[in-house]
Structure 1
Amino acid sequence: MDSGAAVKNHGSGKKDAEQRLTPPLNAAIIAALFRAEVQEKRFARKVIALQTLATLVATGLTAVCWKSSPQYAIAALGGGGISVLNGALLAWRMSRAALHSAHDAHQQLRLMYFYAAERFLAVVALLGICLVVLKLSPLAVLGGFVLGQTVLLAARLLMKIKFEDSD
Structure 2
Amino acid sequence: MFDAFSRKVATADTSGKFIGGSDLDELKKFISLGNRRLDAANFIASNSSCIVSDAVSGIVCENSGLTEPGGSIYTNRKMAACLRDGDIVLRYITYAVLAGDASVLNDRCLNGLKETYAALGVPTASVGRAVGIMKAAAVAFVNNTASQRKMTVTEGDCSDLATEVAGYFDTVLKSIS
Q: TM-score, normalised by structure 2?
A: 0.44
Larger Rg: 1
Structure that is richer in helix per residue:
1
Q: TM-score, normalised by structure 1?
A: 0.46
